[in-house]
Amino acid sequence: MVVIDRWLETARNKGVLDGLMAKNSPLQIPCFGQLLYPKSVQRANKTVYVLARFDETDMLGIFCRGPRLFEGFQGIKKDIGNVSVLFCPLVHENAKTLRKALPFAAPARLAGHGTSFGTGDRLGIATPGHIHGLKNYRVWPVLAQQSVREIELTSRSFEEALDSVTWAVFREGFTRPWGADGDHLKTEEWVKKVLALGYSMITADVSEYIKEEYARAGSSEICASFERLPREVRRVLESNYFEKRIEISQDVIIHFSSEELVRAALIYWDAPQQAARLYRAGVEVCGEDEFDFELSIDETAIPTTPLAHAFIAMELQRRRIRPFSFAPRFIGSFQKAVDYIGDADKFVSSLKVHAAIAKHFGYRISVHSGSDKFRIYPAIGEITEGRFHLKTSGTSWLEALKVIGEVDPFLFQSIYEHAKENAPQALRFYRIKIQPDALPESNIINKKGVSELFESPDVRKLLHISYGEILKHPELRTKIYAVLKRNIEEYWKRLEVHIGSHLECLGLRKNTGEPDD
């Protein structure tokens, strides 16, 4: 209470209070930036909303003239003359109400728009840096992007992930549409929960419904397995697909030859059915066509063939599901935190076909584990003609660790040693290859600095996947947040540059207004 009274007294004496209630912009008022974030000032329904700055924390300030109910907001009310003020802590209920009061603070569907780009924030403090990096490009951002795996390993919640973005968007005055993605959801319960919270997008992960063993089966086993399929399934395959040719584009024709089709059906038949269940769960919450639906099969060992892609697309179409995006399992290797591993020319040839299929069926290609894949970014941007969605997450976590390594090498050394010791636990959650013998000793930090350590692919991969093991260590978690809080501007600056380098390499143009549809 004393802190709030002092804030109000300063605001009144310096003319900030009168400036806020005036129709003109008060950005030039002395002391303005010391009391609140200038970009956060928003006016709606004769009410002014700001993010107020205090010594230890920030608060939402709501100002209006005359008697007024601050319905839905929780806080401390003050009256200064004919101005009523409500100071609200940055908690879930207030974020939820703010999303109703200021629609730009809530996620929106991005279907029908151009290139989209996801930025996961495992710490809940990176979004201002993401906004700085994205706002100058013709791209539609998905600023709240977290998977169940990330939520559980970081001991956070989907509510926290969404709320942290809402407050950041408000702080930065970012009024362009942005999305929120419940990533890699595998159950109907999670789909309903995430969409009920206000997320605008779900990524349905049906990888567990893909029967990879049939990719290695011989012809006789394939034929025998087909005969064991239910009669109705065989009827659908025979009537809809057997020996049919689908002209995808002038250069791409899919021929459903008998053996290839049967193999693809045995591998993938259950996946579209599970996708339909997850989609219908979303419809129960939001209604038809009221959320962006991505289908993901990228977390499998077998690359998605063009025939398999077309088969899945047609099965979705048969079930009247039109996805926003589709994430195939590309050829080569998309290891975490490192560049694309594999034959880039073969990837380009494969991507051309996948992009053509996606365009034919009316959705965009989604690239998972998409950060730091600079070798293939130009091809992704050019071949898809900008019709792609690319997901990043761990790269922002690595940038945070780089900052820590430079300002507090001793803390970083503890983080690195803890990650090495607990690598087996972290590897349980990710399909990733790390060579333990290639991991340097932590004393290299004292000799050559942290930058050289981050040049090691194995170190990058290890730190990328070890966030859960690191953050569940109470002392490390506390120190990480403390160091980043003291160096938050540097962290955001690095994210701005790093995200910008991704967008530049993808061929995205600088934005002078709204991004292209």
Bridge pairing between strands 253-255 and 58-65: unpaired
DSSP single-letter state for residue 131: H
> Got the DSSP string for 437-502?
GGSPPTTHHHHH-HHHHTT-HHHHHHHHHTHHHHHTSHHHHHHHHHHHHHTHHHHHHHHHHHHHHH
Helix (H) or strand (E) holding 253: strand 253-255
User: What's the confidence (pLDDT) of residue 28?
Assistant: 56
Place of tokens 């490009």: 137
**Residues forming the active site:** 183, 294
Is the Cα dihedral 87, 93, 99, 105 positive or negative? positive
Buried b (16+ CB within 10 A) or exposed e, 463-476: bbbbbbbbbeeeeb
Instruction: Enumerate residues 6+ apart whose C-beta is below 8 A from 388.
Output: 115, 116, 355, 364, 365, 366, 367, 380, 381
Closest CA to 502 of 399, 344, 390: 390
Work out the pLDDT band at 510, boundaries 50, 70, 90: confident
pLDDT over 90 at 447, yes or no = no
pLDDT tens, position by position, 42-81: 999 889 999 999 888 899 999 998 666 688 999 999 988 8
- CATH fold, domain 104-211+247-392+500-505, is TIM Barrel (3.20.20)
Place of tokens 């924390």: 57
User: What's the confidence (pLDDT) of residue 20?
Assistant: 83
DSSP single-letter state for residue 66: S
Q: Which of 15-19, 83-87, 357-361, 494-498 has the lowest mean pLDDT?
A: 15-19
pLDDT tens, position by position, 110-152: 998 989 999 999 999 999 999 999 999 999 999 999 999 999 9
User: What's the confidence (pLDDT) of residue 160?
Assistant: 98
pLDDT over 90 at 257, yes or no = yes
User: What's the confidence (pLDDT) of residue 65?
Assistant: 82
Work out the pLDDT band at 515, boundaries 50, 70, 90: low
Instruction: Compute the distance between CA of residue 85 and CA of residue 70 in angstroms, rounded to an integer.
Output: 9
DSSP single-letter state for residue 384: T
Residue-level length of the chain = 517
pLDDT tens, position by position, 299-317: 999 999 999 999 999 999 9
Work out the pLDDT band at 34, boundaries 50, 70, 90: confident
pLDDT over 60 at 516, yes or no = no
Place of tokens 């010791």: 421
Instruction: Compute the distance between CA of residue 393 and CA of residue 498 in angstroms, rounded to an integer.
Output: 12
